[in-house]
């Protein structure tokens, strides 16, 4: 599975959009980009995933560049409850395995 690079920390004002970048320059054609977040002392929570098209759900939007070497998770109106560590994961849909390789993630702090 390809390696991802994320900034260690970011700040965002409440009510503003939070844009979390992720580089995955070695991604291959059959690898998906997944985003999870972990709020302090809780288990990780699935947010969204995509292959090459932009995706949107009730939690966030995922923008993947045309060359697929990077992506951005967008929280459109960040709230204090969005303060968490956000993990970008690249994963192949193969082999029958539900295995995720987590990196260090980005610690997002949403402030009033």
Partner 1 sequence: KAGVTQTPRYLIKTRGQQVTLSCSPISGHRSVSWYQQTPGQGLQFLFEYFSETQRNKGNFPGRFSGRQFSNSRSEMNVSTLELGDSALYLCASSSPTGVVSGELFFGEGSRLTVL
Interface with partner 1 (CB under 8 A): 32, 34, 41-46, 49, 87, 89, 91, 93-105
Euclidean distance between CA atoms 45 and 75, whole angstroms? 14
Reference 59, options 49, 71, 69; nearest CA is: 49
Radius of gyration of the chain (CA): 13
Closest approach of Cβ 52 to partner 1, in Å? 15
Closer residue to partner 1 in complex, CB, 82/105:
105
Closer residue to partner 1 in complex, CB, 42/112:
42
Closer residue to partner 1 in complex, CB, 26/77:
26
Closer residue to partner 1 in complex, CB, 16/26:
26
**How wide is the angle at C-alpha 59 spanned by C-alphas 14 and 85, nearest 5°?**
65
Closest approach of Cβ 103 to partner 1, in Å? 7
Closest approach of Cβ 46 to partner 1, in Å? 5
Euclidean distance between CA atoms 67 and 53, whole angstroms? 11
Phi and psi of 29, rounded to 5°? -60, -25
């Amino acid at each position: 599975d390809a390696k991802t690079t994320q900034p260690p920390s970011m700040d965002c004002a409440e009510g503003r959009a939070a844009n979390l970048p992720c580089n995955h320059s070695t991604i291959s054609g059959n690898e998906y980009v997944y985003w999870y977040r972990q709020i302090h002392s809780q288990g990780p929570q699935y947010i969204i995933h995509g292959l090459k098209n932009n995706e949107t759900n009730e939690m966030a939007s995922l923008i993947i560049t045309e060359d697929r070497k990077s992506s951005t998770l967008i929280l459109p109106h960040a709230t204090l409850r969005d303060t968490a560590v956000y993990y970008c994961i690249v994963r192949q849909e193969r082999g029958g395995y539900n295995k995720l390789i987590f990196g260090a993630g980005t610690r997002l702090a949403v402030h009033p």
